[in-house]
Amino acid sequence: MRPLAAALAALLFAAALPAGCGGKEEKNDRFDETEIVLSFSAMSDIHQQKDKTAYADKLLNALDYAEELNGGPLDVALFAGDLTEETWRQNNEDYSAEYNADVEMLKTTLERGLDLEETGVFYSLGNHDTDPSVLGEEIMAGKPELFYNQLGEEFFRIDAADSRPEDGLRHAVVNGYHFLAVKPDYYWTLRGYSEETLQWLDARMSEITSENPDRYVFVTAHPPVYGTVFRSYANDWADRDVADVLAKYPQAVYFSGHVHNVLQDEVQISQSGGFTQLDCGSVKYTAVMNNINDAGATFDNSVGTRIDDFSQGLLVQVDANGNIRVTRCDYYRRNTIKQAWELSYPKADKTHLLAYDNERRQSENKAPEFAEDAVFSATMSGNTLRLQ
């Protein structure tokens, strides 16, 4: 081949190669809102209850705003536990082993709020749904099957072949992304999971991440992982078992509820455990953070617990490169909260876990700044010191 022809051929071959070192195309790790391939709401503590239409309306409003913010129907509506208020009741015809009035309220409300042919429902069960400390192990062990039978097949159309919703273990695949749900056998302890459940989760995670190492896997259970988000350092509110499994998989994004904290709190996302943990807030109410802000107010909606004027959750969107944007939603005010959290696609060197880890937060932490005309006061009333 003549020198000029050889040079032209080399140029054409180089132009045909994908960009990046060694001919491998480099993915963009910045979220691209023009190429969203998966969108889902992530809510917790919806506490549907017989005859409580106000709580049903809260859920309907939350789903409606999530779809409005998304610009169309959601692919999935995810719920991180406490779907009902009193599933444990079993002393009359409305709360039997075969039928539960709160589950019926849940079903009716979701059928009103979603097109189930367009939006899949994916949930984990919480302590209000399955806690054996209330009615005992034998009765509560049957609650996952009750949910499965009473809700009906249309609520499980996205489930994979190995999904076991009647046992509280779910596996779904939507637009190429995997969702997993598990539940503790016991609450109010750091080690509440059976070995069978942990092995099931580990096996699913191993298989999924081996096939798609640069793609996130979405996992949900009700309690937060110990040592991550607000209130997860309390031994009776958090869990260590799931953390031991997920720490092996940096692709895991774990959604929990249970603590009813406000999503204005930046510690409701954590990447310090080797994976990403997200708290879903609460659709029904919050108590803890408002009580702190109100200087120890009692459990009273007018001063501490926010029910009538509170409802929050998450909108999660994934782009074509596998990056995630998590928008915090104030359903009551139908506004977004602060800036969205963004996660780059999973990387082999785990640098995608640096954005919200404790070390980076500590290094970037700054003292609060006050206006020049700010005034400080300290007042004492009985045994209470108030700083303002």
Half-sphere exposure of 55 (CA within 13 A, CB side): 21
**Residue indicated by tokens 């849940």:** 106
Q: Residue 267: how many CB atoms within 10 A of its CB?
A: 15
Position 223, amino acid: P
pLDDT cut 70: percent of the chain above it: 89
| 128, 271, 277 from 294: Cα distances, Å | 27, 30, 28
With b for 16 or more beta-carbon neighbours within 10 A and e for fewer, the 121-160 pattern comes to bbbbbbbbbbbbebeeeeebebbbebbbeebeeebbebbe
Average pLDDT of the segment spanning 359-375 = 86
What SS3 class is residue 3?
Answer: helix
User: Residue 6: pLDDT band by 50, 70, 90 thresholds?
Assistant: very low
- Looking at the DSSP bridge assignments, the partners of residue 336 are 329
**Residue indicated by tokens 């109100």:** 294
Is residue 8 over pLDDT 60?
Answer: no
Token pair recorded at residue 362 = 């500590």
Is residue 259 over pLDDT 70?
Answer: yes
The domain locations on the chain are 28-387
42-68 pLDDT tens trace: 999 999 999 999 999 999 999 999 999
Q: What is the pLDDT of residue 236?
A: 83
User: Residue 228: pLDDT band by 50, 70, 90 thresholds?
Assistant: confident
Contacts of 369 (CB under 8 A, 6+ apart): none
Average pLDDT of the segment spanning 257-276 = 91
Token pair recorded at residue 292 = 């702190």
Which among 174, 218, 179 is positioned nearest to 74, based on CA atoms?
174
Q: What is the pLDDT of residue 357?
A: 85
SS3 content of the chain, % helix, strand, coil (to 5): 30, 20, 45
Q: What is the pLDDT of residue 288?
A: 66
Q: Are 275 and 252 in contact (CB under 8 A)?
A: yes
User: Residue 363: pLDDT band by 50, 70, 90 thresholds?
Assistant: confident
Taking the model in full, what pTM does it have? 0.86
Q: What is the pLDDT of residue 205?
A: 98
Of 118-122, 193-197, 360-364, the one with minimum mean pLDDT is 360-364
Average pLDDT of the segment spanning 280-299 = 66
User: Residue 36: pLDDT band by 50, 70, 90 thresholds?
Assistant: very high
Q: Are 178 and 172 in contact (CB under 8 A)?
A: yes
Average pLDDT of the segment spanning 241-260 = 95
The answer to whether domain 28-387 has CATH 1.20.1090.10 is: no
Is residue 117 over pLDDT 60?
Answer: yes
pLDDT cut 90: percent of the chain above it: 69
Contacts of 61 (CB under 8 A, 6+ apart): 311, 331, 332, 334
Q: What is the pLDDT of residue 289?
A: 60
Is residue 16 over pLDDT 70?
Answer: no
Is residue 24 over pLDDT 80?
Answer: no
Of 53-57, 247-251, 269-273, the one with minimum mean pLDDT is 269-273
Contacts of 25 (CB under 8 A, 6+ apart): 18, 19
What SS3 class is residue 264?
Answer: coil
Is residue 206 over pLDDT 60?
Answer: yes
Mutual orientation of helices 101-113 and 143-151 as an angle, nearest 10°?
Answer: 40
| 100, 221, 226, 258, 342 from 230: Cα distances, Å | 32, 16, 10, 11, 19
- 292 or 127: which carries more pLDDT confidence? 127
**Residue indicated by tokens 């480099």:** 26
